[in-house]
Structure 1
Amino acid sequence: MYLGIDLGTSSVKALLIDGDQHVVGSGTASVAVSRPHPGWSEQDPADWIRATEQALSVLHADHADALGAVRGIGLSGHMHGATLLGDDDAVLRSCIMWNDTRSHAEAAELDADPRFRGITGNIVFPGFTAPKLVWVARNEPDLFAKTRKVLLPKDYLRLWLTGEHISEMSDSAGTSWLDTGKRLWSSELLAATDLTEEQMPGLVEGSEAGGRLRAEIANRFGMTSGIPLAGGAGDNAAAAIGVGTIQDGAAFASLGTSGVLFAANDAYLPNPESAVHAFCHALPNTWHQMGVILSATDALNWYAKLVGQDAASLSGALGEVLQAPSGPTFLPYLSGERTPHNDASIRGVFVGLGHESDTKTLTRAVLEGVTFAFRDSLEALKEAGTRLDRVTAVGGGSRSSYWLTLLATVLGIPVEVPADGEFGAAFGAARLGLLAAEDPDPAAVCTPPSIEQVHEPVRDLEQAFGDAYSRYRSLYPAIKGALA
C-alpha cells in the first residue's frame, strides 16, 4: 500500500492505493483561509496538521489494515507559501499563501534585479516566496530576525511527520531562490533577500526518499515506523504525475479554481519574458512549463453567485453544441493575472453589454474569457519553445462538454477527457510514495489514464473565435490604462 497526502488550499486529502495503483480509500478534512486585509491570504499551519490528522483518522477507521500495510508516503501541496519557523521549529506567524499579493512592490524590486530571472528562469511574481520574506523583513522585522527556517506548506507537514527539514525541486522552484537549471539553492539570490542556505530545507528529488515516518505518528495511526516519505511535489507537478504527464511535450489543462496549462519538458527551457513558469518536474532530470491564470472556474463561480444560480446549472443550460462567440467580452482578472501579464492589480470587466445580454449570453462570455486566457498561456508556451498537439483536461471545469469543445476550438487542438478515475495531486503523491519505496521505472508507474472522449476543434467556428480572441487581447492595455 502507498499513501498520498495532498495539502490543498481548502482541504487536505489522504489517499490510499495498492501496488496495482487501485484506490483503496480516502479521507478529507477542510482547511480555512484567513483574509485579514484586502489582497492578503493566510493559513495557520496548525490547521494543516489538524486536517491531516482528521483525514488519516478517517482512513484508520475505515481501512486500518491497508493503512498498516503502507510502505511509502508521498506529499503534495499548494506552492509558494511562506512558513516561518523560529527556535525549536516554533511557527512565528500565519503562512502567507500563494494567492496573497501584499508583496507586489517587493516582487517588482526583486524582478528588476537581472540575477533573479537569470538564475531561476522565472519572473519574480508577487505570489512567490522570496518577495514575501522581503515584505516580512520590512514590516515585521522582529519576526524576520527570529526566522531560523523557511518551509513550503507541504514541507511543514513533512516536518511533523518526520522531524526533518526537507523539500524537493518542483515546489522549491516556485520560491525565486532555486537555480532551476542546476536544481539547487542559489546562495546569491538568498543573500539578496538577507537569507542563507542554512535557513532553507535540504533538497531531494520528488521521487526520492525525503525523511522517514516518526514512531509517534506511526503508532498513532497503526502504521510502520521508519517508512520513507517521498520528496513529493508542488500541487501541479503532483497532478502531472497523477495524470501521467511526464514525457516531453505531454500536456494537461487544469480547469480548477485557477487555470493551468502544463507541459512536460526533458530539457530546461526558461523564457521569463513570456510569463511562463519554468520549473523542475518531480522526477530527476525533467522540467516543466506552465501558463497560470488566477481565475478559471473561480470566475464562473463568481458569476453564478452574482445571478443566484450554481455553476453546473449555468454551464449545463448551454447544451453541448458550441455556439458562435457571445458578443460581450469578459476579462477574467478577478484576482489579477499571471500569464502573460504579471499584473496583480488588474481587475476583470465585461465589455459590449446590451439589452440582449441575458444570463446565457454572459455565461458564454465568462467561459469564453477564461478560455481566451488559456489561449494566452498557449501562445506564451509557444514563445518559450513548446508546441502542443493535444491536451488532457482535468479539474472541475472538465465536466462541462460545452466548455471542452470551446477550449479545443480556441486552442486549435484536440482536448482529451480521461475515463473516470483518480488522477489528481493526491494520486500523484501516492505514486511518488511508491517510487520512493520501491525504486521502479518511473515511466512504468506514471502512466496516463485511458481516454474516454476527445473534443475536436469546431473548424467552422475557428475564425470567429480567432477574431473574438483578438478583441479580447486588445482590451487588456485599454483597461490597464483606465485603472492606472
Structure 2
Amino acid sequence: MNILAIDVGTSSIKAGVFYGSRLHRSVRIAVAARNIGNHAEIAPRELLRAFHKAISQIADHTRTIDAIALDAFSPGIIGLDHKYRPLFGLITHQDRRSVREAQFIERHIGKARHLAMLGNRPFPGGIGSTSLLWLRRNNPSHFDRVCYIGQPTTWLVHQLTGRWVIDPSQAAFTGLYRAVHAPTGSRGWLPELCRLIGISPRQLPDVIDADSIAGLLTRSAATRLGLTAGIPVLPGIVDTSAAVLATDMRPGRLVHSCGSSDVLALCVSEPKPAADILLRPVGTGGILPKRWLAVRTLAAAGTTLDWLHHNLFADHSQQQFQRVVRAAMQTINTSADLPRFEPYLAGSRTSMQNLRSSFTNLTLATSRIMLLQAACVAIVSANAANLHRLKQQHPHILSEVFTMGGLKDLAKRMHQTWPASYTFKPLRHEALGGLCKLARAAVETI
C-alpha cells in the first residue's frame, strides 16, 4: 500500500510517500508566518501554496497513491464565506491578542465547569474560541460574513475532497467541543459556547474519527496536484497526535518533541483535566485505540534560539550559530552568576495572561554568549518542570521515551537532567510514520 503523508507545521510542510512501511521520498516546503505584536497568523494563500507544492513535488516522482493522510498544527482557526473563501488568516497557537476574551469566556462559563466539559481552560490563542470572540469584537465586518469555521485540517481536506469535516483532536482545540464525556452526556459541539461566541453549530464541521475516510480526492484537485481522482483522504489530525500514533500508544507512553516548541505529550487511557495541562483526544477510536494526550509545552524553544541568532548573532551563518550553541551548552557553568531568562518569547500555552520574556541579572561583564547560555538554561529548566508536572498528574510514565524534533543537542542537554531510569529512542519517521499507520488502518477496513 502506498501512502501520501503530509505534516503541516507553522514554519514548514513536510510531505512523504511510503511504499509499504518504507519512506520512499520526502520533501519540505517553507511556510511564512506573520508575527506582529501579539498577533500570530498564517496567510491562507501562503499555506495552500506550500501544501500544493509539497504534494506536487511528491506526485512528480511516485507511482500510484492508495490513500492521503495529513496532520496540522492546532489551533489554526479559519473562517470562510459562503463560497469557502478565507476571510482572515489562520490564527495560530502563538497568538496572544485574546486575553480579555479568554477571561470573559471563563467568567461566563466558570473555570471548573469549562475545564470539566472541554478539558482545558480557554487559553488566549491556544483555544480557538478566544480568537473567534476577538474577531467578533474587533473585526465584525469580516466576522459577520463567516459561513464556515474550521481548523487547518478542515480547510485542507475540503480543498482535496469538498467535505467539511474535523476529527476529535482538532475539534477539542476549537474551544467549542465537549471533549470530555459528561456523566450522562456525550461528545459534540456545545450550543452554549457557540451562542457566547456568536456563531451557530451549523457553521462547524462534521466530527468524524481520525481513523476513518473523509472523502475521495476530487477530479479538480487531482488535476491540480498531478494525482489520480478517487484516492481516499483521511480527515486529518493534530500533529502531536500523529507522532504519538507512530508509537505503540500504550498508556504512559511519552513523546518528547524538541523543535520550534518543546513538547511533552503523554498518552493516557482516560481524561484527567488539570488547569495547567493541555488535554485532548488523540483523535482515533473507530479502528485504532481511543486514547488521550496530556501535554505540557514551552511555546518557544527553537524559536528562542532563532530570535537570539537574528538579534545577537546576526554576523553568524546558520551553521556557525549552531556551532556556537553547541559549544555554549557544553561550557555552561551552572554555579556561575549567569543572567536569568524568562522563556516566554511566544507567551505560554497554559496561561490566561500574556507572559513576556526578560533578561535580568545583567552586568557590564555580560556577553552575548552568557545571554545565549542563560536562554538554554531556562529552556532546559522549563522542560524539567514540565516533566515533573506531568508526573504529578499522571504518575505512570513508561521508562522508554520516544524523541523527535530537530534540536537534538538541546534535547540531549534536557535529558541529562531527567531521572536516570528513562531511556530515549528516536521516533522513526516521526509524524509522517504515524500518518502512514493511520492511513493503512483506515483503508484496510474499506
Q: Which residue of 2 aligns with 1:307?
A: 313
| Aligned equivalents of 1:319, 1:133: Cα separation in 2 | 41
In the aligned structure 2, how far is the partner of 1:208 from the partner of 1:382? Answer: 32
Q: Distance in 2 between matches of 1:171 and 1:32?
A: 22
In 2: Cα distance, 1:318 partner to 1:34 partner: 30
What's the counterpart of residue 289 of structure 1?
Answer: 294
Q: Which residue of structure 1 aligns with residue 407 of structure 2?
A: 397
Secondary structure of the structure 1 residue equivalent to 2:214: strand
Quick one: which of 186, 189, 192 aligns to 1:185? 189
Counterpart of 1:117 in structure 2 is 115
The equivalences for 1:356-375 within 5 A come to 357-375=366-384
Aligned AA (1:246): M
**Residues in 2 aligned to 1:139 and 1:220: alpha-carbon distance in whole angstroms:** 36
The amino acid of 2:376's aligned partner reads: L
Instruction: Map 1:96-175; keep pairs closer than 5 Å.
Output: 96-112=91-107, 113-114=109-110, 115-127=113-125, 128-175=127-174
CA deviation vs aligned residue, 1:328-384 (integer Å, no higher than 9, x gap):
232211122234x4432x222233344664455443322210011112322332343
Secondary structure of the residue that 1:216 maps to in structure 2?
helix
CA displacement, residues 51-94 of structure 1 (integer Å, 9 cap, x when unaligned): 2221122112222x2xxx21111111111112101112122222
Q: Aligned pair in 2 of structure 1 residues 347, 223: CA closer, same or farther (>3 Å)? A: same
Match of residue 347, structure 2, among 333, 336, 350? 336
1:110–1:319 Cα change, 3 Å: closer
Is 1:428 equivalent to 2:439 in the alignment? no
State whether residues 209 and 436 of structure 1, in contact with CA within 8 Å, keep that contact through their aligned partners in structure 2.
Answer: yes
Q: Which residue of 1 aligns with 2:82?
A: 87
Distance 1:360 1:426 in 2: 36
Q: Aligned equivalents of 2:122 and 2:420: distance in 1?
A: 31
Percentage of matched positions with identical amino acids? 25
1:283 match: secondary structure: coil
Which residue in the other structure is 2:303 paired with?
298
Question: Partners of 2:349 and 2:77 in 1: how far apart?
Answer: 19
Q: Aligned in 2, Cα 1:50/1:408: closer, same or farther, shift over 3 Å?
A: closer
Q: Label 1:90 to 1:98 Cα distance change in 2 as closer, same or farther (>3 A).
A: same
| Structure 2: gaps (5+ residues) | 182-186
Match among 316, 324, 334 for residue 326 of structure 2: 316
- For 1:418 and 1:385, the matched residues in 2 are separated by 21
Superposed, 1:348-387 pairs within 5 Å as 348-354=357-363, 357-387=366-396
Partner of 1:469: none
Match of 1:27 in 2: 27
Distance 2:257 2:298 in 1: 10
> Partner letter of residue 142 of structure 1?
S
| Greater Cα offset, 10-19 or 161-170 | 10-19
Residue 135 of structure 1 deviates from its aligned partner by 1.1
Query: 2:257–2:405: 8 Å Cα contact kept in structure 1?
Result: yes
CA distance in 1, matches of 2:215, 2:158: 9
What's the offset of the Cα at 1:178?
1.4
More displaced stretch, 156-165 vs 138-147: 138-147
Q: How far does the alpha carbon of each residue in 1:263-314 deviate from its partner, in whole angstroms, 9 at most, with x for none?
A: 0011111112xx1001111322211100121111122222233134444212
SS of equivalent to 1:137: helix
**1:99 partner SS:** coil
Whole-Å separation in 2 of the counterparts to 1:201 and 1:56: 24
> Which has more helix, going by share of residues?
1
* AA aligned opposite 1:393: T
In structure 1, C-alpha distance between the alignment counterparts of 2:360 and 2:395, rounded to whole Å: 32
TM-score by length of 2: 0.88
Note if contact 1:73-1:434 (Cα within 8 Å) is conserved in structure 2.
Answer: no
Q: Secondary structure at the match of 1:317?
A: helix
Q: Is the 8 A contact 2:344 2:356 kept in 1?
A: yes
Match of 1:271 in 2: 274
- Deviations 1:128-147 (CA, angstroms, capped at 9, x unpaired): 21011111111122322221
Output the amino acid matched with 1:232. Answer: G
Q: Name the CA distance, whole Å, in 1 between partners of 2:37 and 2:248.
A: 36
